[in-house]
């Protein structure tokens, strides 16, 4: 009862949804010889009402009016409608029996915006009339005779009207000015097959009999009582035979059409066979010659090549024209039916045969066109459920089919309830509909993850048996007939061991070990907030052996979060996450917190104090460059997005002094200025870092030194002496291979990065550090030449350069034993060009460098990437400005636009 209620609610909602979301209809009209075709698609469940327009009036086309006036409508399983109209329909405007204009109003009823009305006004030209033309279809039959052989009317004869519309209030159409008055008829004789004399007025009420300036038309319903059946070469035909009596002459008007129920259509094993006699006794009075045979679908004639491409077969023997059409071929469609929850289909197609023959005795030609809608008997169709599940992929993979295009998958029932398509896809069921290229049938695919709650799992001897019970809810449109199909699936999956993570720390690094488990390397690794890329893996010295991978992360890495600080230590945390690259779901997470010994404050004998402030995870919005000491004018000497480094003296920057027994204490505090502290989020704590230095009051330090006058000013000789400095251009950011002298000039394009490495050679002292003072580019090898583009100024990137230098870290590897002996940086080619310069030229990169002692506290610039902060407050450079600078120059680099 609950399932029935869900179906009922769905059907109501589906109809309402179709009405609200249906797009505008599409209308296409075509002239097909002596027939007009109007295709109306995208009805979307709306009802189509057709009105004919004539003489500024409209008439709703009912089935009775349609059959007598030469109109017919067919509807496909998806609700699309095709209207066929004879060119000589009751509502056509005839111009000289050559141009025929039909105007139809197409009213779509059921749209939420109100009725939609489309008007079709189509003029078709048809001048190649045969002496006699006959049209046969399922609703009416029509004969047209050439009236040339009939004498001109006299004033005493009865005039047969041109047009009349049965059952309408529009009256009879009037003859256009200047046209012929028409043939004048006394009475009609209808053969049923007995003779039956009928007055013209009486005949007009039952059939459509009309004349034009050159032709006489006779049209009637195929079910009219004035028709009779006749066997023609084994095919039962419906015949309408009349004699029209004039004052001094008479003429026959006859139509004969096959009936599909009696001997003309046969269903073979794989095809439909249609037999049409080409010698039709009721229409032929002597010897005939068959001149033309044409095949068409839905009223449209096909070329021979297209007939062959569709695998139709057309043959003509002594008696029949034989047309074979394969089941399911292009031009037809399948219609779905449901009986007792069983799925049936029938194939529907409307072929057309068009014959042209001549009669030797009469010297007349006859064009004979038959539309024959064919529907095969309903056949029970098996529903296939193909299971393509690969257990290692962790989902059921199914195919459900095959169905006609009018079948839709609506919902899926699982043991816990019924899911709509939206709910299924929200649970990652990945349901897709697939239609074959000829649109004759469709199938559905479905993928259900093993992890879905609807999948049952049971452990069994090292394996997990997964099972799933589904019921597919399907619907046949437009009749809204529901049916269902059930499936039970199961698969065995080897128990999955998820990857695991472990780790530890030493004085400088985090060490991470990942065990693959049964997934192998089928996971993505995130370190901190950054994906572990190949370049980052090289930086972290990643190694793997098929079952494990390991890497080390320096505690100062940007992927490490700082949790707390003390005077001599920092507690840091590294987060490592493994995720499934397909589902993006986490497979394993690991967090490692370690405390690293790090003195944040240094106290020097000359009263200089240094302090390092780090950004904590608990204050994510903190900008370290905004931190100040007690004196707000004292900012950091260097800062980035994670650190602020302060250098000050004990008698400056608001440092407080306290005396104790035999000891003196200097203290300061690092914090945000008051106005910035007020702007912070209430959820973030205040940032305060105490800085302390203790000095013994009674300690004495003796310093001895000797002086000697300089004999000359110091100077630097390029790359000469015991210590040598070399600059090289690397092939890429891995700094594994470098350009040799034979490669110069190195070719680079604008915006392409160039990777430089500066190396100190000739020493193995680990405490010696190479520092960059200034780097610049010139157009020749003279370091003093102009123009000059500054890249690095006093150890800092040029602040006015829009393409700033990027510094790269130097890890230890087989070539690099002392990272302090190297400096690496990256420059974009844009940095070498002004707007008015010729961008295709050679450039040389110069650097002034100095060597310092990393352990000497007086050498404050050592181990600092940028040793002078440009604060705009007029700070003076450190005394180290007087140090000896060494100059190096790169090989020429050719810059190309």
Q: Report the C-alpha gap between 892 and 746 in whole angstroms.
A: 7
State the pTM of this model: 0.53
The predicted structure's pLDDT at residue 704: 62
Place of tokens 């589904």: 470
Alpha helix locations (H) across 241-333? 304-309
Assess if CATH 1.10.3470 describes domain 500-597.
no
At 68, is the secondary structure helix, strand, or coil?
helix
The predicted structure's pLDDT at residue 170: 46
CB 567 within 8 A of CB 651: no
Give the single-character DSSP code of 149. Answer: T
Q: Which of 174-183, 553-562, 618-627, 832-841 has the lowest mean pLDDT?
A: 174-183
The predicted structure's pLDDT at residue 760: 92
- Residues in Cβ contact with 433 at an 8 Å cutoff, skipping those fewer than 6 apart: 409, 442, 443, 444
- Residues in Cβ contact with 737 at an 8 Å cutoff, skipping those fewer than 6 apart: 730, 731
Q: What is the mean pLDDT of residues 6-16?
A: 44
Q: What is the pLDDT of residues 373-386, one digit of tens each?
A: 999 999 999 999 99
At 74, is the secondary structure helix, strand, or coil?
strand
Q: What is the pLDDT of residues 202-232, one digit of tens each?
A: 777 677 778 787 888 888 888 888 889 999 9
The predicted structure's pLDDT at residue 662: 84
Q: Report the C-alpha gap between 572 and 273 in whole angstroms.
A: 84
At 304, is the secondary structure helix, strand, or coil?
helix
Q: Is residue 860 over pLDDT 50?
A: yes
Transcribe 571-597 into DSSP letters. EEEEEEEEE-TTT--EEEEEEEEEEEE
At 821, is the secondary structure helix, strand, or coil?
helix
- Residues in Cβ contact with 280 at an 8 Å cutoff, skipping those fewer than 6 apart: 232, 237, 256, 368
Q: Which CATH superfamily is domain 724-862+883-895 in?
A: Zona pellucida, ZP-C domain (2.60.40.4100)
Q: Copy the structure tokens of residue 632.
A: 């707000």
Task: Lay out the sheet containing 288-297: strands in order across.
Answer: 208-211, 215-221, 140-146, 132-136, 364-371, 351-359, 288-297, 300-301
Cβ-based neighbour number of residue 697 at 10 Å: 10
Backbone angles phi, psi at 400, to 5 degrees: -120, 125
- Please, which residues bridge with residue 123 across strands? 101
The predicted structure's pLDDT at residue 542: 93
Nearest residue to 889 via CA among 722, 715, 726: 726
Q: Report the C-alpha gap between 717 and 885 in whole angstroms.
A: 9
CB neighbour class for 834 (10 Å; exposed up to 12, middle 13-18, buried from 19): exposed
- pLDDT band at 189, cuts 50/70/90? confident
Q: What is the mean pLDDT of residues 507-533?
A: 88
Own/partner long-range contacts of 534-540 (Cβ < 8 Å, ≥24 apart)? 535/733, 535/734, 538/734, 538/811, 539/809, 539/811
Q: What is the mean pLDDT of residues 802-831?
A: 87
Q: Which residue has the higher pLDDT, 841 or 429?
A: 429
Q: What is the mean pLDDT of residues 292-317?
A: 93
Nearest residue to 896 via CA among 853, 842, 819: 842
Q: Copy the structure tokens of residue 422.
A: 């939206």
Q: What is the mean pLDDT of residues 458-468?
A: 86
The predicted structure's pLDDT at residue 371: 92
Transcribe 627-656 into DSSP letters. -B-SSTT---SEE-SSEEEEEEETTSTT-E
Give the single-character DSSP code of 883. Answer: S
The predicted structure's pLDDT at residue 466: 92
CB 536 within 8 A of CB 551: no
Q: Which of 288-292, 347-351, 483-487, 659-663 has the lowest mean pLDDT?
A: 659-663
Nearest residue to 805 via CA among 817, 794, 790, 818: 790
Q: Report the C-alpha gap between 484 and 338 in whole angstroms.
A: 10
How many CA atoms lie within 13 Å of 384's alpha carbon, on the beta-carbon side? 11
E strands, 452-508, are 456-460, 463-476, 481-494, 500-505
Q: Is residue 876 over pLDDT 70?
A: no
* Share of residues in the chain with pLDDT > 70 (%): 83
The 3 state secondary structure assigned to 86-139 is: ECCCCCCEEECCCEEEEEEEEEEECCCCCCEEEEEEEEEECCCCCCEEEEECCC
User: Would strands 81-86 and 271-277 be described as parallel, antiparallel, or unpaired?
Assistant: unpaired
Q: Report the C-alpha gap between 307 and 309 in whole angstroms.
A: 6
- pLDDT band at 12, cuts 50/70/90? very low
Q: What is the pLDDT of residues 399-442, one digit of tens each?
A: 999 999 899 999 999 988 999 999 998 999 999 999 887 667 89
Q: Report the C-alpha gap between 471 and 413 in whole angstroms.
A: 5
- Residue 334 backbone zone (phi > 0: left; psi -120 to 50: alpha; other: beta): beta
Q: Report the C-alpha gap between 666 and 664 in whole angstroms.
A: 7
The predicted structure's pLDDT at residue 436: 83
Q: Is residue 679 over pLDDT 90?
A: no
3-state DSSP helix/strand/coil % of the chain, to nearest 5: 10, 50, 40
Give the H or E element holding residue 257.
strand 250-258
Cβ-based neighbour number of residue 211 at 10 Å: 25
Q: CA torsion, points 817, 818, 822, 823, in degrees to nearest 10?
A: 110
- Residues in Cβ contact with 420 at an 8 Å cutoff, skipping those fewer than 6 apart: 410, 411
E strands, 683-834, are 688-696, 724-730, 746-749, 753-761, 768-778, 788-793, 796-797, 806-808, 822-828
Q: Which CATH class is domain 26-128?
A: mainly beta
User: Would strands 132-136 and 364-371 be described as parallel, antiparallel, or unpaired?
Assistant: parallel
Residues of the chain with CATH 2.60.40.3210: 601-696
Q: What is the mean pLDDT of residues 167-175?
A: 42
Q: Report the C-alpha gap between 162 and 591 in whole angstroms.
A: 95
Backbone angles phi, psi at 202, to 5 degrees: -65, -40
At 534, is the secondary structure helix, strand, or coil?
helix
Distances (CA, A) of 787 to 648, 797, 832, 834: 38, 19, 10, 10
Q: Copy the structure tokens of residue 496.
A: 């999955």
CB 348 within 8 A of CB 373: yes
Q: Which of 39-43, 63-67, 455-459 has the lowest mean pLDDT?
A: 39-43
Backbone angles phi, psi at 420, to 5 degrees: -75, 175
Q: Is residue 858 over pLDDT 60?
A: no
Q: Is residue 629 over pLDDT 60?
A: yes
At 564, is the secondary structure helix, strand, or coil?
strand
Q: Is residue 845 over pLDDT 70?
A: yes
Q: What is the mean pLDDT of the chain?
A: 83
- pLDDT band at 175, cuts 50/70/90? very low
CB neighbour class for 573 (10 Å; exposed up to 12, middle 13-18, buried from 19): middle
The predicted structure's pLDDT at residue 221: 86
Q: What is the mean pLDDT of residues 343-369?
A: 90
Fold of 382-494: Immunoglobulin-like (2.60.40)
Q: What is the pLDDT of residues 880-890, one digit of tens each?
A: 455 678 889 98
- pLDDT band at 200, cuts 50/70/90? confident
- pLDDT band at 330, cuts 50/70/90? confident
Q: Which residue has the higher pLDDT, 183 or 751?
A: 751
The predicted structure's pLDDT at residue 834: 53
Backbone angles phi, psi at 449, to 5 degrees: -60, 140
Q: Copy the structure tokens of residue 214.
A: 């050159």
Q: What is the pLDDT of residues 47-58, one digit of tens each?
A: 889 999 988 888
At 179, is the secondary structure helix, strand, or coil?
coil
Q: Which of 645-659, 668-682, 762-776 has the lowest mean pLDDT?
A: 668-682
Q: Is residue 94 over pLDDT 70?
A: yes
User: Would strands 463-476 and 456-460 be described as parallel, antiparallel, or unpaired?
Assistant: antiparallel
Transcribe 725-759 into DSSP letters. EEEEEESSTT---B--GGGPSEEEETT-EEEEEEE
The predicted structure's pLDDT at residue 879: 38
The predicted structure's pLDDT at residue 184: 65
CB 250 within 8 A of CB 99: no
* Share of residues in the chain with pLDDT > 90 (%): 39
Q: Which CATH class is domain 265-375?
A: mainly beta
Biggest CA pair distance of the chain: 155
The predicted structure's pLDDT at residue 522: 81
Q: What is the pLDDT of residues 241-278, one digit of tens each?
A: 888 887 667 777 889 999 866 678 999 888 999 999 99
Peptide linkage before 478 cis (omega within 30 of 0): yes
| CA quadruple 669, 672, 675, 679: dihedral sign | negative
The predicted structure's pLDDT at residue 482: 95
- Residues in Cβ contact with 613 at an 8 Å cutoff, skipping those fewer than 6 apart: 600, 624, 627, 636, 643, 644, 645, 646, 670, 689
Q: Report the C-alpha gap between 456 and 450 in whole angstroms.
A: 8
Fold of 601-696: Immunoglobulin-like (2.60.40)
Residues in the chain: 897
């Amino acid at each position: 009862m609950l399932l029935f209620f869900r179906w009922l609610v769905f059907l109501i909602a589906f109809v309402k949804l179709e009405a609200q979301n249906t797009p505008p209809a599409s209308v296409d009209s075509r002239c097909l010889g002596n027939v007009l075709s109007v295709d109306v698609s995208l009805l979307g469940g709306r009802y189509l009402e057709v009105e004919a327009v004539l003489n500024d009036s409209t008439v709703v086309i009912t089935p009775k009016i349609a059959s007598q006036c030469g109109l017919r409508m067919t509807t496909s399983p998806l609700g699309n409608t095709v209207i066929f109209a004879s060119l000589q329909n009751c509502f056509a405007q005839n111009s000289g029996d050559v141009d025929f204009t039909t105007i139809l109003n197409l009213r779509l009823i059921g749209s939420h915006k109100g009725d939609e009305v489309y008007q079709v006004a189509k003029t078709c030209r048809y001048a190649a009339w045969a002496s006699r033309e006959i049209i046969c279809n399922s609703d009416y039959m029509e004969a047209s005779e050439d009236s040339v052989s009939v004498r001109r009317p006299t004033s005493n004869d009865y005039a047969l009207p041109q047009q009349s519309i049965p059952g309408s209030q529009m009256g009879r159409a009037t003859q256009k000015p200047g046209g012929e008055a028409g043939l004048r008829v006394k009475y009609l004789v209808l053969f049923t097959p007995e003779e039956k004399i009928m007055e013209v007025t009486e005949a007009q009420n039952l059939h459509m009999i009309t004349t034009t300036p050159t032709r006489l038309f006779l049209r009637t319903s195929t079910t009219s009582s004035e028709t009779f059946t006749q066997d023609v070469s084994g095919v039962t035909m419906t015949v309408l035979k009349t004699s029209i009596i004039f004052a001094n002459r008479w003429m026959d008007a006859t139509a004969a059409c096959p009936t599909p129920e009696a001997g003309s259509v046969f269903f073979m094993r794989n095809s439909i066979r249609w037999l049409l006699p080409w010698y039709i006794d009721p229409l032929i009075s002597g010897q005939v010659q068959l001149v033309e045979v044409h095949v068409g679908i839905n009223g449209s004639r096909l070329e021979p090549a297209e007939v062959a491409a569709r695998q139709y077969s057309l043959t003509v023997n002594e008696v029949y024209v034989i047309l074979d059409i394969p089941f399911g071929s292009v031009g037809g469609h399948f219609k779905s039916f449901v009986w007792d929850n069983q799925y049936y289909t029938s194939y529907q197609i409307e072929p057309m045969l068009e014959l042209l023959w001549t009669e030797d005795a009469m010297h007349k030609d006859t064009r004979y066109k038959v539309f024959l809608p064919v529907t095969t008997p309903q056949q029970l169709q098996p529903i296939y459920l193909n299971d393509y599940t690969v257990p290692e992929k962790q989902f059921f993979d199914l195919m459900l089919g095959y169905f006609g295009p009018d079948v839709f998958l609506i919902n899926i029932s699982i043991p816990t309830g019924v899911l709509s398509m939206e709910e299924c896809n929200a649970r990652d069921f990945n349901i897709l509909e697939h239609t074959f290229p000829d649109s004759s049938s469709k199938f559905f695919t479905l993928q259900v993850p093993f992890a879905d709650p609807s999948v049952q799992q049971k452990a069994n001897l090292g394996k997990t048996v997964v099972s799933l019970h589904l019921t597919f809810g399907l619907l046949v449109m437009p009749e809204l007939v529901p049916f269902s199909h059930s499936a039970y699936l199961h698969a065995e999956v080897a128990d999955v061991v998820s990857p695991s993570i472990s780790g530890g720390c030493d004085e400088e690094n985090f060490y991470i070990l990942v065990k693959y488990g049964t997934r192998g390397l089928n996971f993505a690794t995130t370190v901190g907030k950054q994906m572990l890329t190949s370049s980052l893996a090289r930086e972290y010295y990643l190694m793997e052996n098929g079952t494990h991978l390991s890497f080390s992360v320096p505690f100062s890495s940007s992927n490490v979060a700082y949790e707390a600080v003390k005077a001599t230590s920092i507690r840091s945390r590294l987060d490592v996450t493994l995720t499934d690259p397909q589902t993006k779901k986490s497979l394993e997470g690991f967090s490692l917190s370690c405390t690293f010994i790090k003195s944040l404050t240094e106290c020097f004998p000359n009263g200089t104090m240094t302090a390092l402030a780090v950004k904590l995870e608990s204050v994510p919005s903190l900008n370290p460059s905004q931190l100040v000491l007690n004196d707000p004018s004292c900012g950091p000497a260097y800062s980035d997005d994670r650190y602020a480094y302060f250098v000050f003296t004990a008698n400056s920057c608001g440092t407080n002094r306290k005396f104790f027994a035999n000891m003196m204490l200097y203290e300061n505090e690092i914090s945000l200025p008051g106005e910035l502290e007020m702007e912070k989020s209430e959820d973030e704590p205040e940032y305060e870092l105490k800085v302390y230095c203790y000095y013994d009051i009674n300690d004495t330090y003796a310093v001895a030194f000797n002086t000697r006058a300089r004999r000359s000013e110091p100077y630097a000789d390029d790359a000469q002496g015991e210590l040598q400095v070399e600059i090289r251009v690397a092939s890429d950011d891995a700094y594994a291979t470098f350009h040799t002298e034979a490669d110069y000039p190195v070719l680079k394009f604008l915006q392409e990065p160039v990777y430089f490495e500066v190396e100190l050679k000739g020493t193995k002292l680990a405490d010696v550090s190479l520092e960059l003072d200034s780097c610049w580019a010139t157009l020749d090898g003279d370091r003093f030449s102009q123009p000059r583009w500054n890249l690095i100024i006093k150890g800092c990137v040029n602040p006015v350069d829009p393409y700033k230098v990027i510094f790269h870290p130097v890890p230890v590897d087989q070539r690099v034993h002392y990272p302090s002996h190297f400096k690496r940086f990256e420059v974009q080619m844009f940095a070498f060009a002004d707007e008015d310069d010729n961008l295709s030229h050679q450039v040389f990169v110069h650097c002034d460098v100095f060597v310092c002692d990393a352990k000497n506290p007086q050498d404050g610039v050592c181990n600092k990437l940028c040793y002078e902060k440009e604060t705009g407050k007029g700070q003076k450079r450190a005394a180290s400005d007087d140090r000896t600078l060494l100059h190096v120059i790169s090989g020429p680099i050719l810059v190309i636009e």
